[in-house]
Amino acid sequence: MNSLDSLLNPQRVVCQLHAASKKRVLELVAQHIADVETSLDVGPVYASLLERERLGSTALGTGVAVPHCRVRGLDKPLGCLVTLASPIDYDAPDGKPVDLLFVLLVPPSATQEHLDLLAEVARRFSDSLYCEGLRKASSAVSLLQSATTARAA
């Protein structure tokens, strides 16, 4: 199984993204991923993220969301870590706005790996100290460093 750390790289970390809605966040993140991962097109990535969100919110609560989906043409899982400049409504189960997202894209055939990665995301982002460290980051570099050096209990 891939560690979350191995799914990130400096180009797929976005600190203090400005977006006013869930739909806009997904659109901007899909565009960012497609810009960095030239084998992916923004349209299918955005459509897949939006389609998954229509099944039910991917917000975990406590200001965290984990948008995830399967994407054709992807040969291995990838992640994109995002903090928002201002929290947004994300239909979270606790009603709290979201300001921290881990976007997970997996190949269509990666069923068990998808579930394992989601479990790892949920475990790591359930640690309030870990999330607090991410929220304090003021740049993509410090955000990536916080994400990959801190460990959830």
- Predicted confidence at residue 7, as pLDDT, reads 87
Spell out the domain ranges in the chain: 4-149
Please state the pTM of the whole predicted model: 0.92
Find the catalytic residue in 18, 32, 68, 114: 68
Angle (nearest 5°) at CA 29 between 138 and 98: 60
Tell me if residue 68 falls in helix, strand or coil. Answer: strand
User: Which CATH number does the domain 4-149 belong to among 3.30.450.20, 2.40.128.20, 3.40.930.10, 3.90.740.10?
Assistant: 3.40.930.10
The CA-atom distances, in angstroms, between 10 and each of 5, 143, 149 are 11, 9, 14
- Residue-level pLDDT at 153: 42
Q: Which of 120, 126, 124 is nearest to 149 (CA)?
A: 124
pLDDT of residue 32: 97
Would residue 114 show up in a list of annotated catalytic residues for this protein?
Answer: no
pLDDT score of 1: 40
Over the chain (153 residues), the average pLDDT of each successive run of 10 is 75 96 98 94 96 96 96 92 97 97 92 86 93 95 87 46
Neighbours of 4 (CB within 10 A): 20
